[in-house]
């Protein structure tokens, strides 16, 4: 009785959500045998994540770039602001010269850039996107079969995520290492390598609680308007995610060779200075990486600092955002000195993040080799809110599908081409992404294996 109930609710979650492959890898009928699927390197899951930081990198219209490599293709040189990526350079592709094409829509400062990268449309207003962010499509494609279809985290203490299904309701991130740890490894976590696993009988009781809610769905949706329909769809999608989580709790988890349950992190300091944000980034990356290795999730969104970043050098009275606008370009050097110093600090965060993924051995490589991380920002040259030459990185081998370690020069092409490429590398079945001047139909094939 219990098993039938469990499978049924799993399938209901699967079909009702319009989502893909949920639960399938954990159902033993699709596996060759217990453990073999995970022990065989080829079958290790591929993961996807976005990484956002605010205020771009430093360059000026008259040259003086601090980040764009001179050479195209493989073997690009490490420019000053890319220095923190040196250790993983061969696993990171640098995408320069891509821009937002607004088709007459205004440049909404510190919003249009990343909203376009994620949704494919220059947004009409701030804090809203005109379409779902594409990470949700990735989550629907590869995020199933784990406790969390997607994980969201923010390192600067700000409650900010740019992941949205509706365009107006955004994901809720964990904002401290302690919160993230509790969600990942607190109650509800099952150590996949535990020998003495037994299903928790309480789970079936918890499942029954949700049945009355899904039973009322039709009555509730019968007389709602358009906007409410979208909101309630999102709510019921969330209920199904919970049902899926509970159903997985009744399955014996597959062992994961790289999974080592981490110790709880020390309570962090609440501050927005760049050293604190980077320390949080490193700790949270360690937790996220282990959550991926323990098969708790396959998709994440990480925000180092929001657009118009308010981070600062500890003790300095000016925030990064203000400095990008106020600081003059040094006549001799051709760039903003303090701005570039902060950009370098902010990139330390990305470097630390990728290094953590690369530190976990998995199969014949590392977790980073099995992942694709798309890192990007809100602006190009921040002093003038430029949405041209927005720095974008694709990091990680994506299980052999990303020809990493190259510099691609976009030459003014739409940022959506990068987004399409990421989706195609990770296996989202899309043939195009974006609308109008940003409709991209050709992925960057140089990056695809």
Partner 1 sequence: MRRIGKAAWVLAASSLVLGGLTVAAKTAWAEAAAAAQAQSVTIGTRRLTESQYRHAIADILGADVRIEGRFEPDRRDAGLLAVGSAQLSITPAGFEQYYALARSISAQALAPERRARTLPCQPADPKTRDDACARAFIAKTGAALFRRPLTEGEIASRVRIAGAGAERAGDAYKGLELALASLLAAPDFLFRIEKAEGDPAAPGQYRLDGYTKAERLAFLFWDAPPDAELRRAAAAGELHDPKGLARQLDRLAASPRLQEGARAFFTDMLQLDHFDGLTKDPASYPKFSQAVADSAREQTLRRIVELLVVQKRDYRDLFTSNATVINRQLAAVYGVPYLSDQAWAPYTFPAEAERSGILTEITFLSLFAHPAASSPTRRGVKLHEIFLCEPTPEPPADVDFSKVQALANGTVRTRLIAHMENEGCAACHRVSDPVGLALEHFDGAGQRRTQENGQPIDVSANLNGQSFAGAPGLGAYLRTQSKIPACLVRQVYSYGVGRATDERDDDYVADQSKAFAADGYRLSGLMVRVASSPEFFKVKLPARPRPATKVAAAATGDVGGVQ
The continuous run of DSSP H or E covering 247 comes out as: helix 226-249
φ and ψ of 26, to 5 deg: -90, -10
Q: Which of residues 364-383 bind partner 1 (CB under 8 A)?
A: 383
Binders of partner 1 among residues 141 to 160 (CB under 8 A) are: 141, 148-150, 152, 157-159
Residue with Cβ nearer partner 1 (408 or 440): 440
Angle at 9 between CA 132 and CA 182, to 5 degrees: 65
Choosing from 230, 252, 257, 409, the residue that interacts with partner 1 (CB under 8 A) is 230
Counting residues that bind partner 1 (by CB under 8 A) gives: 99
Give the 3-state secondary structure of 187-233: CCCCCCCCCCCCCCCHHHHHHHHHHHHHHCHHHHHCCCCHHHHHHHH
3-state secondary structure of 253: coil
Give residues 237-266 in contact with partner 1 (rule: CB under 8 A).
237-239, 241-242, 245
In the region spanning residues 189 to 228, those forming contacts with partner 1, defined by CB under 8 A, are 204-206, 208-213, 215-216, 218-228
Measured in residues, the chain has a length of 449
- Contacts (CB under 8 A) with partner 1, residues 323-362: 323, 325-328
Part in contact with partner 1 (CB under 8 A); list of ranges 33-41, 82-90, 268-276, 397-405: 268-276
- Residues 118/415, Cβ–Cβ less than 8 Å: no
The answer to whether the beta carbons of residues 336 and 327 sit under 8 Å apart is yes
Residue 124 in contact with partner 1, rule: CB under 8 A: no
- Rounded to the nearest whole angstrom, what is the least distance from the CB of residue 31 to partner 1 in the complex? 13
Between 91 and 240, name the residue whose CB sits nearer to partner 1.
240
Among 24, 31, 72, 203, binds partner 1 (CB under 8 A): 24
**Residue 385: how many other CB atoms lie within 10 Å:** 19
> Distance between CA 80 and CA 71 in Å, rounded?
15
> From the CB of 107, what's the least distance to partner 1, in Å?
4
CA atoms within 13 A on the CB side of 39: 7
Residues 382-411 that bind partner 1 (CB under 8 A): 383-385, 387
The span from the CA of 1 to the CA of 106, in Å, is 59
Q: Rounded distance, CA 57 to CA 37, Å?
A: 42
Residue choice 88, 171, 375, 438 for contact with partner 1 (CB under 8 A): 171
Continuous segment of H or E residues that includes residue 339: helix 337-358
Q: Which is nearer to partner 1, 207 or 371 (CB)?
A: 207
CB of 231 to partner 1, least distance (A): 4
Residues 32-91 that bind partner 1 (CB under 8 A): none
Residues in region 101-120 near partner 1 by CB under 8 A: 106-109, 112
Closer to partner 1 by Cβ: residue 355 or 379: 379
CB of 36 to partner 1, least distance (A): 16
Helix (H, G, I), strand (E, B), or coil: what is residue 101?
coil
């Amino acid at each position: 009785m219990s098993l039938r109930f469990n499978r049924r609710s799993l399938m209901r979650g699967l079909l009702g959500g319009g989502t893909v492959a949920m639960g399938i890898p954990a159902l033993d009928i699709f596996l060759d045998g217990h453990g073999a699927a995970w022990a065989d390197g080829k079958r290790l899951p591929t993961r996807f994540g976005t990484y956002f930081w605010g205020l771009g990198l430093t360059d000026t219209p008259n040259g003086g770039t601090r980040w764009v490599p001179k050479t195209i293709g493989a073997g690009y040189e490490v420019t000053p602001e890319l220095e923190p990526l040196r250790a993983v350079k061969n696993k990171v592709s640098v995408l320069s010269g891509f821009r937002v094409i607004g088709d007459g829509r205004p440049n909404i400062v510190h919003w249009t850039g990343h909203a376009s990268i994620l949704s494919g449309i220059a947004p009409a207003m701030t804090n809203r996107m005109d379409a779902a962010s594409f990470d949700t499509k990735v989550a629907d494609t590869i995020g199933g079969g784990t406790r969390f279809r997607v994980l969201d985290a923010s390192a600067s203490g700000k409650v900010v995520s740019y992941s949205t299904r509706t365009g107006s309701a955004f994901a809720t991130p964990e904002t401290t290492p302690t919160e993230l740890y509790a969600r990942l490894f607190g109650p509800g976590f099952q150590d996949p390598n535990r020998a003495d696993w037994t299903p928790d009988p309480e789970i079936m009781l918890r499942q029954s609680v949700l049945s009355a809610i899904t039973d009322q769905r039709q009555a509730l949706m019968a007389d709602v308007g358009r906007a409410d329909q979208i909101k309630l769809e999102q709510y019921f999608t969330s209920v199904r995610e919970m049902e899926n989580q509970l159903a997985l709790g009744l399955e014996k988890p597959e062992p994961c060779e790289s999974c080592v349950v981490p110790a709880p992190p020390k309570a962090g300091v609440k501050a927005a200075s760049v050293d604190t944000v980077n320390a949080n980034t490193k700790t949270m990356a360690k937790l996220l990486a282990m959550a991926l290795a323990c098969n708790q999730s396959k998709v994440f969104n990480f925000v180092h600092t929001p657009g118009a970043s308010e981070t600062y050098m500890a003790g300095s009275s000016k925030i990064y955002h203000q400095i990008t606008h106020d600081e003059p370009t040094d006549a001799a050097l051709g760039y903003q000195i303090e701005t570039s110093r902060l950009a370098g600090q902010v990139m330390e965060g990305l470097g630390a993040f990728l290094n953590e993924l690369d530190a976990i051995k998995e199969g014949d490589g590392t977790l980073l080799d099995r992942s694709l991380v798309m890192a990007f920002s809100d602006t190009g040259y921040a002093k003038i809110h430029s949405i041209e030459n927005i720095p974008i990185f694709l990091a990680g081998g994506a299980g052999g599908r990303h020809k990493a370690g190259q510099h691609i020069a976009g030459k003014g092409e739409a940022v959506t081409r990068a987004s399409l490429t990421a989706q195609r590398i990770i296996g989202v079945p899309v043939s195009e992404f974006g609308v109008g001047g940003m409709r991209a139909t050709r992925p960057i094939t140089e990056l695809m294996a």
